Amino acid sequence: MAPQYELYSYFRSSCSARVRIAAHYKSIPLEYKFIHLVKNEQQSTEYSSLNPSQNVPTLVVRDSDDSNKKEFLIRQSVAILEYFEDAYPNAPKLLPEDVEARAKVRELVNVVACDIQPVTNLKVLNKVRPLGVDGKEWQAEWMSSGLEAFERIVKGSAGRYAVGDQVTLADVVLAPAVDNALRFGVDVSKYETVWRVYEEVGKIEAFQKGGWRTQEDTPEEFR
């Protein structure tokens, strides 16, 4: 029996979107619990006991055999994506077989996960606001810088998608990052390869279903 999965998510969390997209792409069923980051629900004692970093996503993995009642937690999106790759070898793959292509995918994933997303995190934003920093301008600046780096790297690897003609984890993390950048007024179209890949993956059902506009906790005015 396959494990049962519970994902703690927030509709506008790009890290949560990565996991949602990958799960849809691989046809992995998830049950959702919603953590409203703007309302600081991630700081609750209950959720902090699950995720000491007080962020989303958190994946709870439960053994479907009730007699065992085994469970474990994965608290970082990239680790969850890698877990899906290992746990579902027969599902559509998001990491190429070729070792160099694999390394390129991981390189691009880390540009987003390490260079772009952390400095635009709500926790960081809340720290710089008291210093008189314009939050929207701050986020747009860092997103632009990261997307510029991504563009320069992806030009050498892109085919139809970010790395060749296969959908990979690079595409899965890029799409939510672009969604965030657009929200904060970044002209993403000037990054020609990034924009082309973003438009291409936007045609894929898994990316549509995992996007921020289509979640159960997305307010009606944003759908």
Query: Where, residue-wise, is CATH 1.20.1050.10 in the chain?
Result: 99-208
Query: Where, residue-wise, is CATH 3.40.30.10 in the chain?
Result: 4-92
Burial class (CB in 10 A: 0-12, 13-18, 19+), 63: middle
Q: What is the dihedral of CA 177, 119, 56, 11, to 10 degrees?
A: -40
Residue with the two structure tokens 């053994």: 63
* CA-based nearest residue to 35, from 8, 75, 5: 8
Domain 99-208 has CATH 3.10.300.10: no
The CATH superfamily assigned to 4-92 is: Glutaredoxin (3.40.30.10)
In a structure prediction context, what are the per-residue pLDDT tens digits for the chain, which is 223 residues long? 678 999 999 999 999 999 999 999 999 999 999 999 999 999 999 999 999 999 999 999 998 666 566 789 999 999 999 999 999 999 999 999 999 999 999 999 999 999 999 888 888 888 888 877 777 888 899 999 999 999 999 999 999 999 999 999 999 999 999 999 999 999 999 999 999 999 999 999 999 999 999 999 999 998 8
